[in-house]
Amino acid sequence: MDTIDNQILMLLQQNSKMNIKEIALKIGLTTTPTYDRIKRLEKSGTITHYKAEINREKVGLNLVVFCQVTLQVHSKKLITQFENAIEIMPEIVGCFHIAGNFDYLLKVVTPNIKSYQFFLKNKLSVLESVSNVQSNFVMSMVKENTIYKLA
């Protein structure tokens, strides 16, 4: 990884639809070495995939909730069961195993409070491993960014 690779990554994070020619122009290379660098970044796993970022409210996903989850027991079996269950719940867009007063921090996105209540009552709280869930409702987004600043 060098400065040019970082420039390519910054450009692709800002607009993954940017074509090779546009990227090459911005970084000062011709298209062939630019293409080769991007392919190398993909092959190495530095670039994992491309996606479109959507406005969640425009598709009816108006409620964001951060859930602090405490497990009943910290056994490998229950942790694995919990994490496997979380993986298949589309409402959960982020799951972080953390150290502190609780075990997991979940980012949950649903259309409204009623749908969140259904999710909590019928999906999350019924998991065998869950002891406690604290819900924190987002009032407004001050900053949400998926672009990593690279040196």
Task: Determine the residue type at 136.
Answer: N
DSSP string, 34-46: HHHHHHHHHHTTS
DSSP β-bridge partners for residue 65: 108, 137
- Going from the first residue of the chain to its last (151 residues), give the mean pLDDT of each consecutive group of 10, the final group possibly shorter: 94 95 96 97 96 93 98 93 97 96 97 98 96 97 90 73
- For 35, phi then psi, to 5°, come to -60, -45
Residue written as token pair 């607009």:
15
Task: Determine the residue type at 114.
Answer: K
Entry pTM: 0.87
What are the structural domains of the chain? Answer: 3-43 (1.10.10.10), 56-137 (3.30.70.920)
Q: What pLDDT is recorded for position 136?
A: 98
Q: What pLDDT is recorded for position 14?
A: 93
Give, in order, the Cα–Cα distances in Å from 53 to each of 13, 97, 125. 10, 25, 30
Q: What pLDDT is recorded for position 146?
A: 84
